[in-house]
Amino acid sequence: MYSPPNQDCHRALGRGAQGVFSLKIDFTVVDPADGKPEYPGAGVQTVSTTPEDFSRFSKVVFRSKSVPAVPALPSSTRFGVQLYCSTARLEDGTKPGNLHVEQPFAVTAEWQLFSLPMAQFSPSPYDTAHILGGPGACVQRVDAIQFDVQPSLSDGQSAMGQLSVDEINFQ
C-alpha cells in the first residue's frame, strides 16, 4: 500500500466480485492548503524481491470498482495500474529504483472486468526521464504491481473513497 504524507489509507480484504475476497483500500487524500499542488493519491501494491519477465503476457485482466465517499472524488480522478521495475536503468545509465510503466482504466461503483494490453503500458506522462530500452525493458523486469487512484485536487481540497481490485491475472 502506498500512502504519501497527509493521506489516510486502510487496506483490507473485501467482498470480491464473485463473492470471494478482493484487495480493498479505503482512502482519504488531501492536498494541503499551502499554495502549491501536491498531487496526492493512494494505492495498493504487491512487491517481489526478484524481478519477473512479464513480456510473455499479452494482457492483464482484473475486476475493479470504486465506491465514492464524502467528500467525493472529482470526475477527473485517474485510476491506473503501474508495473514497477526498480532494476531498470535510465538512458543516461542511472538506476533511480522507482521506474515504472502504467496504464489508466476508467472504473465505476460497480464491478467491471478490465483487459489491458501489455503493449499499451507506457511511462508516466509526468516522467521526463526515459527508461533505457523503453517500456518493454521495464516489462521485462517487473518487481511490483500497483493499483492506484490519483484525484485532481485543488489546493486545500480532500476526497475519500474505496478502491477494490479482484481476480488479477496475466494472460
Looking up residue 136, the CATH number of its domain turns out to be: 2.60.120.430
Would you state the pLDDT for residue 77? 93
* Residue 118 domain flag: yes
Provide the domain limits for residue 50.
8-170
* Residue 1 domain flag: no
* Residue 68 domain flag: yes
Would you state the pLDDT for residue 97? 85
pTM of the model: 0.85
* Residue 2 domain flag: no
| pLDDT one-digit tens code per residue, 26-57 | 999 999 999 988 888 999 888 999 999 999 99
| Residues in CB range of 47: below 8 A, 6 or more apart | 84, 143, 144
* Residue 76 domain flag: yes
DSSP for residue 2: B
- Number of domains into which the chain is organized: 1
Residues of the chain with pLDDT under 70: 1-20
Beta strands in the chain (DSSP E): 8-15, 21-30, 42-52, 59-68, 78-84, 100-105, 112-117, 122-123, 142-150, 158-170
* Residue 3 domain flag: no
